[in-house]
Amino acid sequence: MTAFYHINNTDDYHRDGMRTLGWELTVCNALEEAQSPCRGILIDPATLGNLLYDLLASKIALEEIDSLIEIGGGYGYVIRDFHTRRLWKSVAMLDLSPVLLAQ
Q: Where are the domains of the chain?
A: 11-102
pLDDT of residue 35: 92
pLDDT value of position 50: 97
Residue 51, pLDDT score: 97
Task: Walk along the chain (103 residues) in steps of 10 and give the mean pLDDT of each run.
Answer: 73 66 74 92 94 97 93 86 93 78 68
> Which residues does residue 74 pair with via DSSP β-bridges, in sequence order?
none
Output the pLDDT for position 39.
92
For residues 3 and 59, what is the distance between their CA atoms, to the nearest angstrom?
Answer: 42
pLDDT of residue 21: 62
Predicted model pTM: 0.73
